[in-house]
Structure 1
Amino acid sequence: MPKKLLLLPLLCASSTLRAPRARPAARPAMNAARTGYRVFSANSTAACTELAKRITERLGAELGKSVVYQETNGETRVEIKESVRGQDIFIIQTIPRDVNTAVMELLIMAYALKTACARNIIGVIPYFPYSKQSKMRKRGSIVCKLLASMLAKAGLTHIITMDLHQKEIQGFFSFPVDNLRASPFLLQYIQEEIPNYRNAVIVAKSPDAAKRAQSYAERLRLGLAVIHGEAQCTELDMDDGRHSPPMVKNATVHPGLELPLMMAKEKPPITVVGDVGGRIAIIVDDIIDDVESFVAAAEILKERGAYKIYVMATHGILSAEAPRLIEESSIDEVGLLLTGLEFAVLSSGNGEMAPPMLLNPPLEDGPLKSCPWCLALCWARCIGRN
């Protein structure tokens, strides 16, 4: 049975959150000098440029004139082609496969606008890069905090993003961060598009994801299951490879100062805490990147009697062989919100690429498709409130 990769657009035009049958006509463009704000696209990719155009159409504003390109030596160059003095500037930046180039484009554009005397510079970043590197591991670094400092130094004064990997990331910034929630849209999709969802159980693929899964289960009034065991990776401090103070053998210390030795950690065999027999299993998470943990979770859920398995997430990065692994797994459907990223699309099973759901239309042919306009209204409403 072929799998489906469902890309769910955010179309929050009304409180009912129902997708319109046709896109509303764009309003007349507003005068930049009168409104006091401009919208720029920081990314040289077609997906980001199109997303920025859709946002400005919703706002009835004009897209700021700028040029972003790569020099022959690999350096990024940004040129602002109009005056931004005293204006509030919104920079739209999606994160394509080349993450580091996208970060440099954002930093250089923000700095160019800062030196051009823009009043405020707000970054609209649907998926915040390096958010998975927000904890100290072994002798590494907290890269997400470094990036937050770089953005502030470059001139950003505000960020609008969606579903940060860890809410604590907001504390890394010295300026306000709006962390939008994707759960209302995923909840609506579950209620409207999954048949017999009342017979479902919300599943956390690891204990770390239990809090998010519990929130979904409470709102949908469904049961909760948690997968625990050796197939899952934890983020406990005991796993970071450091010992303070370092272990010293044959040391002579006062009996009252002896420190307990750190016991070796052994994970139990993978198991499911909760009843999934004869039910639909819905795995919820914020990011789908490397899918091995999702595939392992689906296998154990099938063994425990779940007859259909869905995976719901906000950001679909789908690195490396993720589409193929999902297609060959026990996962029946994967639902992703379109947050300005480029998504891989699973094969329909007949050798052709299955078209993503609700693309209007895809920007690119081939295994990677983009749906740049789906979040346009959501981001436009946020920009309009700032």
Structure 2
Amino acid sequence: MLLFVSYHSCKLIHLALVGSLSRLDVFSSIGRALSMRVPSLLPIPAFILATLRPREPQTDLPLHSPLMNTGVCNGDIMILAGNSHPALAQLIADRLGVRLGACLVYQKTDRETMVEIQESVRSRTVYILQTGSKDVNNSIMELLVMAYACKTSSARNIIGVIPYLPYSKQSKMRKRGCIVSKLLAKMMCKAGLTHIITMDLHQKEIQGFFDCPVDNLRASPFLLNYIVEQIPDYRNSVIVAKDPASCKRATSYAERLRVGIAVIHGEAKTRFDDDYEDADEDGDDGRTSPPPLPARQQGRLHSSVSMSSFMERSEPGAEPGPVTAAAAAAAALRRGRPRLRSAASVCFGEVDPSRIMSVGVTGVPMQAAKEKPPISVVGDVGGRIAIMVDDMIDDVRSFVAAAEMLKERGAYKIYVMATHGLLSADAPRLIEESAIDEVVVTNTVPHDVQKIHCHKIKTVDVSILLSEAIRRLHNKESLSYLFRNITMED
């Protein structure tokens, strides 16, 4: 009997191991076998059965968390990523609980961009994540080709998630130039993008260049949170604007942190700066100001002046002759009588020449060149932590020069904070050798290589903001929660 029970138990345990039976079924079968062979034996106690019941799954997220995934994986969403920032795309997909769509983006031997979407996108909402990187033109071309491929494959909605919008600096008209950001916006809409999610545009007016809705998210809450948590003595800090153009952003940070503000004034602009308006250095380019009048118009002007001279009377005793309109008006005023105006001049609104003032300039006056004032700091930074804020860090030479000035004025620690850390050229080396103690940027742009060469660069993750914007947009929820207490200066 015992041998039978042992053989039966081993067989049941083997079935449990291979997955055919559960633990509860195994013990129940053994108990029934023992009850049949040995009636005096009792079945399995209740407390043992209670321990064998499956436990409820536990989760670390609260049931009503505002950033909790609430059914975004409903089968009609797809996230595609280009080659600009695959790490950020993977972070967003993990937070949403979806996988990245199968998409192959590569370049042929002749440098043409090829896109192969290896899944069906018909009647699905496609989110294409592509940001500005070092190879900016290829990144833009990848985005356009991917969007047009989804459009021709009958995707329902094509939403571009572009944390850093390229060419956002070129949003103003320059001499013999164009507004490149408007051209890029038209190209994106023509390619098939129906919505844009971006972050901290260089100029907020760029949203008007698009023919589709644009959500311009803000990274300032993340940077403010870093200041509060990672800078112990932030109450003794001062927010610094490295130029007068950054005063609004610096004021917004200072008001939220309840600290002071300082402005670096007098920094000389070079032709490599964004706000530099280059003067016309072409000299005489064949144009004259004002342009000469043709001979026919000059004859008409002379005849009209001659006729007006006969209509006006000169002073008594003066020899008759042709006089100018200004001289006739002056003579009429000296006589104490107002100059009579013809009916034609009254009807056509001619201006009395006596009311026109001349400044002694023949032609269009030349604009005076700007003087380069000495660099100075407006505000007290002595013995304080100086925190410079901006929307992007590309060429760090201006930040390095500002840090040296702040160090001379007594600032004992200097931070630089920005949303987009482009860090072009030899920026890591300049930062490492400068008086800057720490550079804090977000991961909207990949800069892993720069962090290897400079230990002062710190990164703040903003993937949770982008993923929450995607979740709310996909579930047709309001995005106003992400813009609470956000002003135009942020």
Same fold? TM cut 0.5:
yes
C-alpha distance in 1, partners of 2:438/2:420? 15
**How far 1:28 moved relative to its partner?**
9.9
Q: Which runs of 5+ in 1 are unaligned?
A: 1-12, 15-23, 359-370
Alignment partner, residue 471 of structure 2: 384
Q: Decide whether the 8 Å contact of 1:89 with 1:120 is kept in 2.
A: yes
Q: In the alignment, is residue 261 of structure 1 matched against residue 366 of structure 2?
A: yes
Report the residue type matching 2:468 in the other structure. Answer: R
Change (3 A) 1:248 1:357: closer
Q: 2:394 aligns with which of 264, 286, 289?
A: 289
Change (3 A) 1:27 1:71: farther
Alignment partner, residue 383 of structure 2: 278
Q: In the alignment, is residue 122 of structure 1 matched against residue 159 of structure 2?
A: yes
Percent identity between the two aligned chains:
59
Alignment partner, residue 205 of structure 1: 242
**How far 1:230 moved relative to its partner?**
3.5
Q: 1:84 aligns with which of 95, 115, 121?
A: 121
Alignment partner, residue 37 of structure 1: 77
**How far 1:229 moved relative to its partner?**
1.3
Report the residue type matching 2:466 in the other structure. Answer: W
C-alpha distance in 2, partners of 1:379/1:343? 20
> With structure 2 as the length reference, what TM-score do the two structures score?
0.63
1:26-175 alignment to 2 at 5 Å? Answer: 30-32=73-75, 36-41=76-81, 43-44=82-83, 48-175=85-212
Alignment partner, residue 315 of structure 1: 420
**How far 1:138 moved relative to its partner?**
2.3
C-alpha distance in 1, partners of 2:189/2:131? 18
Report the residue type matching 2:398 in the other structure. Answer: S
Report the residue type matching 2:79 in the other structure. Answer: V
C-alpha distance in 2, partners of 1:236/1:97? 22
Deviations 1:229-265 (A, max 9, x none): 133457668546499xx98469889948964431121
Q: Decide whether the 8 Å contact of 1:231 with 1:293 is kept in 2.
A: no
> With structure 1 as the length reference, what TM-score do the two structures score?
0.79
Further displaced range: 376-385 or 67-76: 376-385
Q: Highest CA radius of gyration, 1 or 2? A: 2
Further displaced range: 232-241 or 137-146: 232-241
Q: In the alignment, is residue 227 of structure 1 matched against residue 227 of structure 2?
A: no
Q: Decide whether the 8 Å contact of 2:83 with 2:130 is kept in 1.
A: no
Deviations 1:30-61 (A, max 9, x none): 352xxx221111x235xx33332332222222
Alignment partner, residue 342 of structure 1: 447
C-alpha distance in 2, partners of 1:250/1:94? 48
**How far 1:378 moved relative to its partner?**
2.1
Give the SS at the match of 2:387.
Answer: strand
C-alpha distance in 1, partners of 2:434/2:149? 47
Change (3 A) 1:295 1:179: same
C-alpha distance in 1, partners of 2:433/2:365? 46
Report the residue type matching 1:262 in the other structure. Answer: Q
Q: Decide whether the 8 Å contact of 1:91 with 1:122 is kept in 2.
A: yes
Larger relative contact order, structure 1 or 2 (CA cutoff 8 Å, min sep 6): 1
Further displaced range: 225-234 or 247-256: 247-256
Report the residue type matching 1:37 in the other structure. Answer: I
Aligned residues: 339
C-alpha distance in 2, partners of 1:261/1:144? 31
Change (3 A) 1:214 1:63: same
- More helix, by proportion: 2
Give the SS at the match of 1:325.
Answer: helix
Deviations 1:71-112 (A, max 9, x none): 111101001122212221100113331111111000000000
Report the residue type matching 1:77 in the other structure. Answer: M
Alignment partner, residue 366 of structure 1: none
Alignment partner, residue 7 of structure 1: none
**How far 1:274 moved relative to its partner?**
1.0
Alignment partner, residue 434 of structure 2: 329
Give the SS at the match of 2:207.
Answer: helix
Change (3 A) 1:344 1:300: farther
Q: Decide whether the 8 Å contact of 1:92 with 1:124 is kept in 2.
A: yes
C-alpha distance in 2, partners of 1:143/1:318? 22
C-alpha distance in 1, partners of 2:192/2:217? 22
What's the RMSD between the two structures over aligned residues? Answer: 3.1
Change (3 A) 1:61 1:27: farther
Q: Decide whether the 8 Å contact of 1:28 with 1:60 is kept in 2.
A: no
Q: Decide whether the 8 Å contact of 2:72 with 2:471 is kept in 1.
A: no
- More strand, by proportion: 1
